[in-house]
Structure 1
């Protein structure tokens, strides 16, 4: 143990002895961050002074010192030294040494030892040594060591890796001084990605002992026969008590069980302008219940909305949506369904002023989620189960060691106790057996709170005792959540409850186990064997980003510079962003100032005033975009899908997207930038997490956002776009080394696609089930084959010609403008006429924006994406071939020196279409479940038709 030599420390002593009375004027002032031990838990210590040892205790401590209380009368002097201080209870050789007395004061035998605040090193060393010597561990340092409080952060696929796990383990051991040699031993060590969707910041496993109770004879509709009961617990006597109850019930002929209902509840609340509006909304919901039901069920292939209950209160309308959820507990599923239904309702009533619907909240606390509530007790939440058994007198006496008469007299007293305390329901310890089974089988353990609320009711009869049980709110499932983890899956299989179709069986087994435990425990309490048995056996700063308040003339001036003049004023102009997928998804997630904003800047230069229309693009950082995607995946109601999405979302290219477009506008070749908007300035502030682009206003250009229909896209304009696209692709064709590293553009990485295989398969299955009219059985099979062999397909795409691709090339992100150099335009027209070519009335040029997803891939990708958005569904495949081949020839011509074989070009185009469907459009279909984009069906069917017809040839 290092000594605190050389540091000035202050000792303030409050002696009982009378000769220090002159110092009584000292007033003790509590220290900042002071902690006080309870009087009964003060650590005892001894300290040396003047060659003698004295006992005392610590009453308070803080960062730089502590307070000692002692009954000894001591004569201390300023400049005196306490050579050693040590805890009485510590066997370790940890001391604090040589504390110098620099001040004295008197009050009831109290010493204050305080490091000199003017010496930060002394404070820090004292703080660390005090924790080690007296509290038994090293503290997390927060004075000058902010990095030690920052746990290693990993996003995307890196979060669930051995590297990330070991980094967190090392940080924890370093930060706390404790070893986790046992916690780190886990079956997930070699493959932590199995935990995606179940836990974050994984470091290891807590191994809870698992025992088997029973077997228990169950006579139910779904569970019929003897069943062992796996119980994960650290409580001695629990499994023995269940087994004793099972013995009595088995001898009585088994426990009869029956599932009576399944009701998962989600309870939003709507805020209206007044009480009348809330009542009118309730009436409207009753009239349109069929439409609400259809919308709610559209978000899930499993959930069925069985009832809607409205509860007006003042200007609020609480609503309870009650579902059946198949074999899942269904809490995420019903959240998704209710959200979709509420969004539809809001859209339907927004133009009905009499209702004055202002907003809604997805959960108004009437669902009873993870809480004991009378509603859940009376009407049920989850699966409702009944159980009954009749135990003959002889069997009861033999196994429980008391008569039924004795038992009932004691149970009468227990019921009175429950009534006096306001117990909801009445049982002994349902929660105990449920917690053990929940933990063993991967249920949501927090739901034990509501699941354990129920009735246990014995009734004496002439030949014995009949016992009846009700569990009204058993929130369980056999699919989703933690039920798919290896050990939890094994426990479910022990019960014969693994996978779909088994939830009701599991519910019947749990109810029977609850009855067996309660009959045993209540009898043990009644006979006073309860105590004997136990003795024997046993979880972002508001200052980040750009706010509306930041948008000032000075803000615009800093971006424009001085060359364009002085910004005198500005005004906001409306801008239609309805077609932007990301912008609209971000609007639903956050109210922060983000997305596209149009302004008219009023400039003055050399006495001349002019107006400059601009668009400010305020960008979300990549973490927000990825969180948005994770949120959408969670709304699917599929736990495994959302977990896979979180661990493998790297495949969508969101990482670094907030910086990529800014870097491209700053570093890309001028040959490419001529096809981009004029950029007036950018914001790139990592400290504030502020990212923005100020660019020219493209609103006056033709074909802007021409995505809702194909009418604007005639043959000539499609050809114009494909021709300019070839010129863009020619800039970096097969020249990846020329790409500036600052742009952060990634290529086709085989390992990334392989890592995401499970996610892509899960998305494909989910979208096929949700949208069978869009993803046909044939396409579903083709995508499955592509994904399962994705490594060879991506490698084939890698070996073909590659270039800088926009990777989101569709009418949302492009327009057509007239070039400034009109003389050159006229010259081009003249030459075209001489060559006998058809000339457009106004020669236009492609302008492309929103480059955040730019990638280094095959040029066919952008070409195909553009065609699926702009061609009508009745265009024959020969027309597709003509456009593709025209683009191929344009790229050959623009790149000068490249020969692109037609057959190989088309083969790679098909692989790109498959990749697009498996990755980007699987994501779009998932988002469409929430956004209902009007053009998505047409676009997706075009992509599907291209794939199926090409591969059918």
Structure 2
């Protein structure tokens, strides 16, 4: 773009939508980029007079809620939830974690110490003597200068004029109180008015006329972090303090007071050596996110983020404080009047006149919370885990949405439909939001350039014989197993303590290894028993070099019922449960007793063993203890003792499991992944990424835990288990007798309760899983029924 091009920008100074569109078309022309995402304005142009120039569009930043944090401040009191505008994953979660810890320990005490805004004009004279005389004279003019400044703005009050002489130049630090405004602009105008008065007076004083003058000589520190402002203040000087007891540190922050104290003491001299102004961990994270959400001057984060953070041992716990010596915030003026920014200020109870002190205390309190959370993450070893990424030795040309088009789909459809001349004419991603399973969702914080998820497609095609046709399909694009494993490990890391440490050790044996290769291979297998229950498959595309593992299948339509009903188990009537059990029994029957053949297929991946289950007992115990601490309404002391008994004997009863007939199991057999096709209520089972070798009762145990009521009785459980056994026999298998079958179910239920259920509970700590409200009580009820049977038999 040349200078001439820049001068031809249309609509300068015009705040109309027509002018905005003209500028956008001009930008398209000079850049050659479509810029379709900028078509929608977001904010009417006429509402932005004084906020921006040459307006073309808006950029959206997502706003999340952190907290609540209990305040015991001077202006901020009670629980507060803060809106944070950010695209940094984990910031809201980390801030919330810190807020939770502080709140449980009694809250945060906050106070505004002072509020100042400075502007520092510079006067140059022909010698140091004249400069010195000027510095002496101006200190006696406070009343006149205050009058001049006050004539410009009702919000600003001049409290001090401090001359700083540097040779022939005198910098005048005008110090103001600005009430509820940030004050940078108003104090500039007020200072300009006062300086005009000074210059007028100096022209009448022989030998005192300055040789040069500027409204700012760069001593005010505007949008710069300076030692002077850290000491004297510029903006709001505000502090926050809290105490944390040992129990809260261990339970919420997942570390110990000793570990935090040691990390802090090591970090302080390191910061001094590095030349840090003050000492801080990441207060700027919260400050920037609050600034964007509430319409503050974002560039002021640079100076506002200079903080002093301190931690010290106090009894059996810690005390911590944070000082923000120069927090530039306002609740009137600037961007605070924009609709959404003002709404965020209103949500904080800080909008308009009288809100700035409360606002400053809120920002400081949450900045202290995130400092504590991040320091604890470093001390507890969670910081690196939370930022772990999959290493790649080379650049990968990942799939993008544009790849879900004819070149990829055409050969798959031509082969599946036995139409060699088939041509894909159009592909449209349906308006439905992309669907994602729990595993894919867990990996969503990876590189967003990489396509992953379940994408509904409307595909138009032509064939010589049939002419034009359409298909409703879904493309399931799978993440790598290591991406899933890392995502799960991050959840364990955030859980802290022994769980974080032990999960890292065993993470490749928690069921997620090979999830990206297992399911495509299963869909490609052509096994008749599987084909009967799978959705219709139109092809599988595998390109390891691009990390592309895509399954193209039918989009289940209105003839399918009970799809995605994990949160609505009451919809599953007895005939539905029986149909699902009978349907999966045919798959179980096809592979029962063929363990060696199944393993020889090569795609099953790692299979659990009794020896490894026993060795992993420390992990299962840590997960159960974590669940008891985080979800005591479910995992009561009695329940924890029951689970520990099962875990402690895992090696023994898993050896019994290994001696029972095993088969291919879905291993995630629940209403998230199954449905029934009408009118015959035929099973449709999808999402087979966790499929493994296990006793067939494993799938039934999981299904019953998901769909039976929490007061399920013995007779119903027994009837459904017998249905499963007889269905296998009807399909040609030779299942054991009823007593042995029930024993296999009991052991499968134990396995589910100490592994998959605990993984769900760990996830629920950080990402709500509503189906657990039903699943946990029902699982505990089923365990209780088995305990009663064992007691009666003994």
TM-score band (shorter)? 0.5 to 0.7
Q: Does the 8 Å contact 2:562/2:675 carry over to 1?
A: yes
Q: Does the 8 Å contact 2:475/2:552 carry over to 1?
A: yes
Q: Judging changes above 3 Å, is the alpha-carbon distance between structure 1 residues 480 and 547 closer, same or farther for their aligned structure 2 residues?
A: same
Structure 1 residue 571 and structure 2 residue 428: aligned?
A: yes
Q: Judging changes above 3 Å, is the alpha-carbon distance between structure 1 residues 704 and 477 closer, same or farther for their aligned structure 2 residues?
A: closer
Equivalent residue number for residue 719 of structure 1: 578
The 5 Å alignment of 1:19-38 reads none
Equivalent residue number for residue 611 of structure 1: 470
Deviations 1:15-40 (A, max 9, x none): xxxxxxxxxxxxxxxxxxxxxxxxxx
Q: Does the 8 Å contact 1:557/1:567 carry over to 2?
A: yes
Q: Judging changes above 3 Å, is the alpha-carbon distance between structure 1 residues 643 and 605 closer, same or farther for their aligned structure 2 residues?
A: same
Q: Does the 8 Å contact 1:579/1:705 carry over to 2?
A: no
Normalising by structure 1, we get a TM-score of: 0.46
Q: Post-superposition shift, 1:747?
A: 3.6
Structure 1 residue 695 and structure 2 residue 553: aligned?
A: yes
Which structure 1 residue ranges, 5 or more long, are not aligned?
Answer: 1-271, 337-353, 386-471, 484-538, 819-841
Structure 1 residue 946 and structure 2 residue 782: aligned?
A: yes
State how many pairs are aligned. 487
Q: Post-superposition shift, 1:936?
A: 1.1
Alignment equivalent of 1:890, drawn from 716, 721, 727? 727
Q: Judging changes above 3 Å, is the alpha-carbon distance between structure 1 residues 648 and 478 closer, same or farther for their aligned structure 2 residues?
A: closer
Q: Does the 8 Å contact 1:914/1:947 carry over to 2?
A: yes
Alignment equivalent of 1:289, drawn from 79, 84, 90? 79
Pick which of 585-594 and 798-807 moved more: 585-594
Q: Does the 8 Å contact 1:774/1:941 carry over to 2?
A: yes
Equivalent residue number for residue 880 of structure 1: 717
Q: Post-superposition shift, 1:282?
A: 12
Whole-angstrom distance in 2 between the partners of 1:478 and 1:694: 41
Q: Post-superposition shift, 1:575?
A: 4.3
Alignment equivalent of 2:528, drawn from 670, 673, 686? 670
Counterpart of 1:816 in 2: which secondary structure? strand
Equivalent residue number for residue 747 of structure 2: 911
Alignment equivalent of 2:591, drawn from 722, 732, 738? 732
Deviations 1:597-655 (A, max 9, x none): 1100011112611111111111110110000011111111x143212111102332111
Structure 1 residue 649 and structure 2 residue 504: aligned?
A: no
Q: Does the 8 Å contact 1:578/1:584 carry over to 2?
A: no
The 5 Å alignment of 1:66-105 reads none
Equivalent residue number for residue 332 of structure 2: none
Deviations 1:256-315 (A, max 9, x none): xxxxxxxxxxxxxxxx9899x99999999968726689975897799637228799989x
Equivalent residue number for residue 597 of structure 1: 455
Q: Post-superposition shift, 1:677?
A: 1.5
Alignment equivalent of 2:108, drawn from 304, 307, 317? 307
TM-align CA RMSD: 4.7
Q: Post-superposition shift, 1:669?
A: 1.9
Equivalent residue number for residue 775 of structure 1: 635
Whole-angstrom distance in 2 between the partners of 1:696 and 1:632: 33
The 5 Å alignment of 1:59-458 reads 289=79, 296=97, 304=105, 306-307=107-108, 324-327=243-246, 334=253, 374-376=307-309, 380-381=310-311, 383=313
Counterpart of 1:947 in 2: which secondary structure? helix
Equivalent residue number for residue 469 of structure 1: none
Equivalent residue number for residue 856 of structure 1: 693
Equivalent residue number for residue 547 of structure 1: 400
Q: Does the 8 Å contact 1:601/1:613 carry over to 2?
A: yes
Equivalent residue number for residue 508 of structure 1: none
Counterpart of 2:461 in 1: which secondary structure? strand
Whole-angstrom distance in 2 between the partners of 1:547 and 1:475: 34
Q: Post-superposition shift, 1:745?
A: 4.2
Higher CA-based Rg: 1
Counterpart of 2:766 in 1: which secondary structure? helix
Whole-angstrom distance in 2 between the partners of 1:937 and 1:599: 33
Whole-angstrom distance in 2 between the partners of 1:923 and 1:850: 18
Alignment equivalent of 2:706, drawn from 869, 880, 888? 869
Equivalent residue number for residue 763 of structure 2: 927
Equivalent residue number for residue 349 of structure 1: none
Q: Does the 8 Å contact 1:568/1:603 carry over to 2?
A: yes
Q: Judging changes above 3 Å, is the alpha-carbon distance between structure 1 residues 892 and 327 closer, same or farther for their aligned structure 2 residues?
A: same
Q: Post-superposition shift, 1:804?
A: 0.5
Q: Judging changes above 3 Å, is the alpha-carbon distance between structure 1 residues 603 and 356 closer, same or farther for their aligned structure 2 residues?
A: farther
Deviations 1:655-681 (A, max 9, x none): 111100011112252222221112212
Which structure 2 residue ranges, 5 or more long, are not aligned?
Answer: 1-57, 83-92, 113-180, 184-222, 224-235, 256-290, 316-370, 383-390, 790-794
Counterpart of 1:610 in 2: which secondary structure? strand
Equivalent residue number for residue 518 of structure 2: 660
Q: Judging changes above 3 Å, is the alpha-carbon distance between structure 1 residues 688 and 674 closer, same or farther for their aligned structure 2 residues?
A: same
Whole-angstrom distance in 2 between the partners of 1:290 and 1:884: 51
Q: Does the 8 Å contact 1:778/1:948 carry over to 2?
A: no
Whole-angstrom distance in 2 between the partners of 1:278 and 1:612: 38
